[in-house]
């Protein structure tokens, strides 16, 4: 059985606030840095989600807004692939559109009927 490892190294300041987030994957050749990371793990025994959300102190608010908007869209795509629930994924995309509009990240969409390929 093949295994892959993803490693995060978080550098903290004196107040234990993240200054730098470096990560690497055993399948990738290069290491990378990031300003934010969101990890969600499903605990099947407890039937709940465990989360780790970290961001560096130099991540700008506008970057955080984009980060969340893009995560909402990614979750809709993943949800559709994992469950086949097309209509629920469409509803998630519609919410992401409205969220993006409220934050002035995307232009207003008067149709609010975002399918996977639209």
Residue-averaged pLDDT of the chain: 92
pTM (predicted TM-score): 0.84
> 85 vs 108, which has greater pLDDT?
85
Residue 118: the pLDDT is: 46
Maximum mean pLDDT: which of 27-31, 50-54, 109-113? 50-54
Residue 117 has pLDDT above 80, yes or no: no
Residue 39 has pLDDT above 80, yes or no: yes
Residue 92: the pLDDT is: 98
Q: Residue 111 carries which DSSP code? A: S
Residue 108: the pLDDT is: 84
Residue 115 has pLDDT above 80, yes or no: no
Whole-angstrom distance, CA of residue 118 vs CA of residue 112: 11
The H or E element that residue 91 is part of is helix 86-102
DSSP of 11-60, one letter per residue? EE-TTS-EEEEEEEETT-SS-EEESEEEEEEEETTTTEEEEEEEE-TT--
pLDDT band (50, 70, 90) for residue 24:
very high
């Amino acid at each position: 059985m093949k295994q892959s490892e993803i490693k995060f190294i978080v550098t903290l300041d004196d107040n234990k606030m993240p200054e730098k987030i470096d990560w690497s994957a055993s399948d990738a050749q290069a290491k990378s840095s990031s300003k934010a990371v969101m990890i969600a793990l499903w605990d099947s025994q407890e039937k709940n989600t465990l989360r780790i959300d970290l961001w560096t102190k130099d991540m700008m608010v506008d970057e955080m807004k984009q980060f969340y908007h893009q995560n909402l869209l990614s979750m809709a795509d993943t949800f559709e692939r994992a469950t086949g629930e097309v209509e629920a994924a469409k509803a998630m995309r519609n919410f992401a559109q409205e969220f993006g509009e409220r934050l002035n990240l995307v232009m207003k969409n008067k149709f609010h009927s975002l399918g996977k390929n639209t």
